[in-house]
Structure 1
Amino acid sequence: MMDRPVCLIENMPDGRIQVNASAIADLSQIRQPVVVVAIVGLYRTGKSYLMNKLAGSQKGFDLGATVQAQTKGIWMRCLPHPTKEGHTLVLLDTEGLGDVEKGDKKNDTWIFCLSVLLSSALVYNSKAVIDEDAIEKLHYVGEMAELIKVKSKDNEDDEAEYSGHFPIFIWAVRDVTLKLEFNGRPITEDEYLENALKPKDIDSQGSSETVERHNQYRDCIRMYFKSRKCFMFDLPTGDKDVLQNMDDVSEEKLSPTFMAQTKKFCDYIYNQADVKYVDNTHTVTGETLATLATTYTNAISSSNIACMEDVVANISVAQNTAAVKEATQHYGDKMEEKVKFPTETLDQIIQISEECEKEALKIFMKKSFKDNDHQFYKQYGAIIEQKKSEFFKRNDLESRTHCEKLLKSLSKELEDLVEQGAYVHLGGYQKFKEEMERIEKKYNNEPRKGTKAEEVLQDFKKSKEMLRVTIMKNDEALSEQQKKIEEEKVNKEKLEQQRRMEESRRKEEDRKLEHQRRIMEEHLREALEKEEEERHRLHEQLQSLMHHKARESDKYKSQGYEEPAGMYQEQIKDLRQRQEEVNSPNWRPLVVTGLAAAASFFFPPSALVAGAALLGVTQLLHR
C-alpha cells in the first residue's frame, strides 16, 4: 500500500494525457477488490483536504496555499479499506477544473470523464452554494455523452444506460454560509440538492434556449448517476493563516462543526461507496483498474471517444489471458511443491493432482471474465491436461529409473555368479531359482519404488528368461520330465502375471477416468456457481437501477413533467424484461452444454457424461 500519493495520469506539455507506467505497475500488484473514490471540481476548492481525510492522514495530497493549482493530472493513493476487510481503498485526486493557466479546455473534460469511468464514487466539490452558476460549471456532465459510449454501435438509448455503469454522485459544498430552508421550512442537505436539480418549465421566465440549457445539465445528473448525495461544510475556520496551512495545523484549531461534517462525509464514503465493477458483474481489482486506466486514457487521448463495450472486450482478453497463465502456473508450482517423486501409488499422485487442479480451477473461474465462447477455458484445460500428463509421465519415469537401479544393485551378485559359471553344474538351476527369489523378495520389501515397480520387476524377469532356460537345460540333476513340468509351471506363472498386469492397467485407466469424471464435475459445479453469482449480482444491479429510475419518474411526475416521467417508465419496462431473462432457469442448460462442448477438447466423452451424472445435470446435456 502507498504511504504517499503517486501520479496515475499525467498531463503532458503537448496537451496529451498518458498513464504513469510506475503507478500502473504498483496498482497492478493489488489483487484485492477496490473501492475507487475520485474527487473533481474547480481548482482551489479544497478537494485534496477531503482526500487526505479519507486516507486518515493530515498530509499526502498536496493542498497548496496560493491561487495556483497544485494537483496536475490525476493522483492516486491506495490503502487498506477502513471498514471493508480484504478490500483496497483507491483515492483519486484530480487536477482542478477551470485552471486559468491551462489553455486547452478539453483537458478538463478528459480529466472529468476519466474520473467518472474509473470510480465507484464520484465527489464533485464546489463552494458556497448550488445555484445556476454552480451547475453551469458542471457542464462536463453534459459533455460526457460525446466522449463516452456504452456500446460500440450507435445506440439512441446510450444515455439511459449510463446509470448502470457510472459511480454514485456526491456533491460536496464547501464554505457554506446559507441557512438550509426552503419556503420557510428547514430542509436536509439532500433536499437542497434535489431542489436545485428541479427542471424548469419551458413556459417559465427566460428564453427557451436558457431553460433547455438549465434542464440539460440537471437531466444528465439525474439520469447518469443512480444515487445522489449532498454534504455541506461550514468554513473550517475564520483565521486566514490557519486556512492557508490546513495540512500543518491541528484539528483543535478547526471548527468542531466542520470536523463533525468531515467525519460524517468520510463515514458515508466508507460505508456507501461500493466496490468498482466492470459490466455490472465483474469485481475490479487493482490489477483490473490498472488495465481500465490505461485503456480509457489511451482511448480518450487518441480518439477522444471511450467506448465501454470495447474497453470491456479488451479487459476480457487481458483478464482471461492472465487467468489462464496464473491458474496453470499455480497448478505447476503446487505439483512441484507437493509431489515427492516417485509416488508410491498412482492414487497418490491422482489425489495431489486433483487438489491442485481444484485450486487452479477456482483461480481461473474467479479471474476469468466474459469468456463467452470458452476460448480461454479451452486454453486453460488443454494446458492443465498437458502439464498433468507430463507430471504423470515424470512420476512413471522416476519410478522406472529408481526400480531399474535398485534391481541392478540387488542382482549384482547374481550377475557375478553367472559370469563365473557358478550355475553351469549339477543342481545349478535350483540355486539360480533361489537367487532370483531372493532378489524378488528383497526388491518387494524395498519402500517407495513407485508406480512402475511391478512392471520393472517383470521386465527384469523377462530379461533373465533365456538365461533361466539355458541353465535348466544344462542341469543334469533334472530329468526330462522334471524340466517339462518346470517349464509348464513357469509358463503358467507368466500367463498369470500377464493377466494381473493387464488387470492392473485396466484398473489404472479406470482410476484415471474416475479422476477425470470428478474433475469434470468440479468444472461444471464451478461454472454453475460462477454464473449463479454473476446473475445474482446483475439482478441486484438491475433492481437498483429500476429503483433509481422509478424514483426519478415519481419526482418528475410529482412536479408535473409527464414526458420525462414516461421515459423513465419505458426504461423500467425494459429493465424488468431483462431481469426476467436473468432470472429464467433456462440459463443452466446453456452453461452446461457450452462448458461440456468446450471441455470435449481435452476431456474424453465418458468423463463429460459421467461428470455431469455425478452432479445430477446429465439431463441438461440433452436439452
Structure 2
Amino acid sequence: MCSYHPMVNPVCLVENVGSSFCVSDNAIRYLEQISQPVVVVSVVGLYRTGKSYLMNRLAGKRTGFALGSTIESETKGIWMWCVPHPNKPVHTLVLLDTEGLGDVKKGDSKVNDRCCPAPESSAWRFFSASTLVYNSRGTIDNIALEQLHFVTQLAEHIKVKSPTPAEGVENKEEEEEEDSQFVKFFPNFIWAVRDFSLELTTREKGPIKEDEYLDNALQLKKGIDDHTGPLGICFVFPMPATPESMSKLENLGEHFCDHVFTESRVKTLKGGHRVTGRMFSHLVRLYVETISSGNMPCLENAVVTLAQIENQAAVQEGLKVYQSGMAQVRSSFPVSADDILDEHQKWSQMATTEFMKRSFQDQEGKYISLLTEKVDEHYSELLGENASSSEQRCWQLLSKLSKGLNDGQQKGEYTKPGGYAIYCSHRDSVISHYQSQPGKGVKAEDVLEAFLSETNVEANFILQADNSLKEKDKEIQKQREKAALEEQQKKALEEKHKELQRAQQVEGKRHEERMQQMETKFEEEKRLQVEELERAMERKLAEQEDLIKKNYYEKAELMRQEIDQLKDEIGNISQSFFQQTAMPLIETGVDVFSKILHFKLMKSVLKSSPV
C-alpha cells in the first residue's frame, strides 16, 4: 500500500541556476512524505540520446519525461519521478534524470567545463543512486569513453571518511584506504547504447554478448582500467527503422526494465542502513548545501548528520506515541496506581518500538536515553495530575457524605449527653460509605487520614463535653481515637510502599525490555554492515579475477590485500559490540532518569510517614 500520492509527472528536484544549485522545496516536501525504502535509479548522458525514453519505460509510462526535440538545453537540473516499485511491495522507485553531462548543441567532443557540470555535483548524483544508467548513442566510441572516464573519476571529488589529524591533510595510506572504501558505495552500473547499428561480432570470437562488447571497448581506452569501481552490464538498442527493429526494441526495453527492477537494491548509507524517501530528501539538501558552500561532500559526515536528524525525529515520534496513548489514561483520571503504572509500561514500550523504527547508529544510547528522559518526565507530570485529581475527588466525596455529620454538629445533636456515641456512629457511617465507593484513585488513604485528623479534634471536643461518660471511659475513647488515626497513617504508608515496590518492579522489567529492543536493533545494524562489506568483497573478488585473466598480477595482489582488509572488518563487526561496549553506556544514561523518578516516588512516601 502506497503511503503517499504517486506522482503523475516528474518534477524538478535540483535546478542549475547559473553556476549555483537550488533545491526545489516542493520536491523535498514530496520526498518527506515517503516513509518507504527507496530504490534510486539515475540516468545520465548527453541531451537527445534517448534518456527520456528509458526513464518513461522505467516509470511504466509512455510520457512524462520530455522526449526528443522538446528538451531545451537551457533547462539544466535534476528531474525526479517517484512511482511505486513494480517488483518490491512497500518500496518506492525514484527515477532521476540527471542532465548536464554534455550538450550536443555545443559541438565539443571534449569533456571540459563547458559540457560538464561541476564534478562535485555529478559526484553526489553518482553516489546517491542505487543504479546508474549511462546512456549514449550509436556506438561506444572515443567521445563516449571520455564521458565515462569523467564519471569513473568522480571519486576524486567526494570523500568517504572525514579528514583525520594533521590539520585535515590526508597521507598516502589514507588516500589508498579511501579508494578501497569507494567500492562499498558504487551503484550498479549499466551502459545503454541507443540506435546501435553494429553487428555484435569480433574476428577472434565471432558473435559476442553486449557485456563483452563493452569490455572490448574499455580495453581500447587507456586509463579506463584504472576506474575506482566495477563496471557492469551493457544494453544495446537498435534504431527503430523497421517493424522488426521496433519489435526488437520493445523486447529489449522490457528486458532492460526487468534487469533494473530486479538488480537495483534499496539505497543504503554507509553502514548498510536503508534509505527512505524522507531520508533521501535530507541527503539531497545536505549534499547541495555542502557543494554550494564550496566544500567537498563527505559520505561519513552525511551519515552522521542524517543520523542526528533521524534520531531526533525518532525521539519525537516515540514521545508522541507515548503521549497519545497516555492521553487516554489522563481522560479517565483519577485511576489507581496499578492502572497508571500498567499503561505507562505499555506505552513506554510502544514508544521505544516506534523510536527503533526510525533511529539508527545510536551506539552510545544518547537518543534512547533522551527518549526515556522525556517519557519519564511526562509520566512524572501525569503522576502529579492523577494524584491531584484523586485528592479532589476524594474530598468532594467526603464533603458529600459528611453533610449529615456537619448538619448534626450545627444543630447541637452531639453536645448533649450520649452525643459522642451518636457522633461516632455517624462518622463511622461516613467512613464506611467512603471506603465502599470505587474510583477514588491513589490519594484515597491519604485523604482519609487527613479526614480522620480533622474529625479527631472534633471527636475529642465532643467526648469531653459528654457528661454521660466517666473520665476513665473518656480516656479509653481518647486512646481509641488516637489508635484509629495511627492505624490509618500506617495503612496509607503501606499503600505508598506497595506503589513504590511495584513501580520498581515495572521499571526493572521496562529497562530489560528496552535493552532487548536495543540489542535487536544493534544486531540488525550489524547484519546490514556485514552485508555491505560482503557485497563489496564480492565485487573485489570479481575484479581480482578479471585482473588475473588480463595478467595484471601486481594489481591483483593489491586487490587481494583489500579483500583481506574487508575480511578483517567483517570479523571485527561480528564480535558482540552491544554486550561489550554499547550496553554499559546505554544503561548508564538510561538509569539516570529512572533514579530521578524513583526519588520522586520515595519523596512521596516520606511525606506520608507519620510524624
Aligned to 2:166: none
Q: Secondary structure at the match of 2:485?
A: helix
Q: Alpha-carbon deviations, 1:17-63, whole Å to 9, x = none? A: 12112211221121121111111111111112222222222222222
Aligned to 2:525: 534
Q: 2:223 & 2:464 partners in 1: Cα distance?
A: 108
Q: Alpha-carbon deviations, 1:330-387, whole Å to 9, x = none? A: 2112211354432532111111111211121122233223334433333222211111
Aligned to 1:79: 83
Aligned to 1:165: 185
Q: 1:376 & 1:49 partners in 2: Cα distance?
A: 46
1:187 Cα deviation from its structure 2 partner? 2.7
Residue 181 in structure 1 maps to residue 186 in structure 2 = no
1:71 Cα deviation from its structure 2 partner? 5.8
> Residue 131 of structure 2: which of 102, 117, 121 is its match?
121
> Which one-letter code corresponds to 2:131 in the other structure?
A
1:286 Cα deviation from its structure 2 partner? 1.3
1:149 Cα deviation from its structure 2 partner? 1.0
Q: Alpha-carbon deviations, 1:284-316, whole Å to 9, x = none? A: 111111110011111122215211122222212
> Residue 175 of structure 2: which of 156, 161, 178 is its match?
156
Aligned to 1:295: 286
Aligned to 2:248: 257
After superposition, the Cα gap between the structure-2 partners of 1:409 and 1:11, relative to the gap in structure 1 and judged at 3 Å, is: same
After superposition, the Cα gap between the structure-2 partners of 1:374 and 1:161, relative to the gap in structure 1 and judged at 3 Å, is: same
Aligned to 1:326: 317
Q: 1:539 & 1:66 partners in 2: Cα distance?
A: 46
Aligned to 1:555: 546
Aligned to 1:132: 142
Aligned to 1:576: 567
After superposition, the Cα gap between the structure-2 partners of 1:218 and 1:291, relative to the gap in structure 1 and judged at 3 Å, is: same
After superposition, the Cα gap between the structure-2 partners of 1:45 and 1:111, relative to the gap in structure 1 and judged at 3 Å, is: farther
Residue 193 in structure 1 maps to residue 184 in structure 2 = no
Q: Alpha-carbon deviations, 1:547-603, whole Å to 9, x = none? A: 110111111111111122112111001101111101123552212212112223223
Contact 2:36–2:277 (CA under 8 A) maintained in structure 1:
yes
Q: Secondary structure at the match of 1:170?
A: strand
Q: 2:571 & 2:145 partners in 1: Cα distance?
A: 38
Aligned residues: 576
Aligned to 1:112: 122
1:413 Cα deviation from its structure 2 partner? 2.5
Aligned to 1:453: 444
- The aligned runs of 1:467-616 (5 Å cut-off) are 467-585=458-576, 587-604=578-595
Q: 1:67 & 1:326 partners in 2: Cα distance?
A: 43
> Residue 51 of structure 1: which of 55, 58, 70 is its match?
55
> Which one-letter code corresponds to 1:179 in the other structure?
E
Q: Secondary structure at the match of 2:345?
A: helix
Q: 2:467 & 2:58 partners in 1: Cα distance?
A: 100
Aligned to 2:335: 344
> Which one-letter code corresponds to 2:61 in the other structure?
S
Q: 1:215 & 1:594 partners in 2: Cα distance?
A: 53
> Which one-letter code corresponds to 1:536 in the other structure?
R
Contact 2:158–2:298 (CA under 8 A) maintained in structure 1:
yes
Per the normalisation by structure 2, the TM-score is: 0.89
After superposition, the Cα gap between the structure-2 partners of 1:186 and 1:437, relative to the gap in structure 1 and judged at 3 Å, is: farther
> Residue 219 of structure 1: which of 216, 226, 233 is its match?
226
Aligned to 1:3: 8
Contact 2:519–2:578 (CA under 8 A) maintained in structure 1:
no
Q: Secondary structure at the match of 2:304?
A: helix
Q: 1:19 & 1:224 partners in 2: Cα distance?
A: 28
1:238 Cα deviation from its structure 2 partner? 4.6
Q: 1:383 & 1:459 partners in 2: Cα distance?
A: 34
Fraction of identical pairs, as percent: 35
Q: 1:175 & 1:159 partners in 2: Cα distance?
A: 35
> Which one-letter code corresponds to 1:486 in the other structure?
Q
Q: Secondary structure at the match of 1:283?
A: coil
Contact 1:77–1:90 (CA under 8 A) maintained in structure 2:
yes
- The aligned runs of 1:239-250 (5 Å cut-off) are none
> Which one-letter code corresponds to 1:431 in the other structure?
I
> Which one-letter code corresponds to 1:231 in the other structure?
F
Q: 1:452 & 1:142 partners in 2: Cα distance?
A: 72
Q: 1:173 & 1:390 partners in 2: Cα distance?
A: 66
Q: Secondary structure at the match of 1:224?
A: coil
Residue 229 in structure 1 maps to residue 209 in structure 2 = no
1:507 Cα deviation from its structure 2 partner? 1.1
1:100 Cα deviation from its structure 2 partner? 5.1
After superposition, the Cα gap between the structure-2 partners of 1:309 and 1:480, relative to the gap in structure 1 and judged at 3 Å, is: same
Q: 1:130 & 1:304 partners in 2: Cα distance?
A: 34
Of stretches 61-70 and 419-428 in structure 1, the one that deviates more from structure 2 is 61-70
Contact 1:71–1:96 (CA under 8 A) maintained in structure 2:
no
After superposition, the Cα gap between the structure-2 partners of 1:463 and 1:134, relative to the gap in structure 1 and judged at 3 Å, is: same
After superposition, the Cα gap between the structure-2 partners of 1:91 and 1:142, relative to the gap in structure 1 and judged at 3 Å, is: closer
Q: Alpha-carbon deviations, 1:530-561, whole Å to 9, x = none? A: 11111111111111111110111111111111
| Structure 2: runs of 5 or more not aligned | 1-5, 107-112, 164-169, 599-611
| Structure 1: runs of 5 or more not aligned | 201-213, 240-252, 608-623
Residue 21 in structure 1 maps to residue 12 in structure 2 = no
Per the normalisation by structure 1, the TM-score is: 0.87
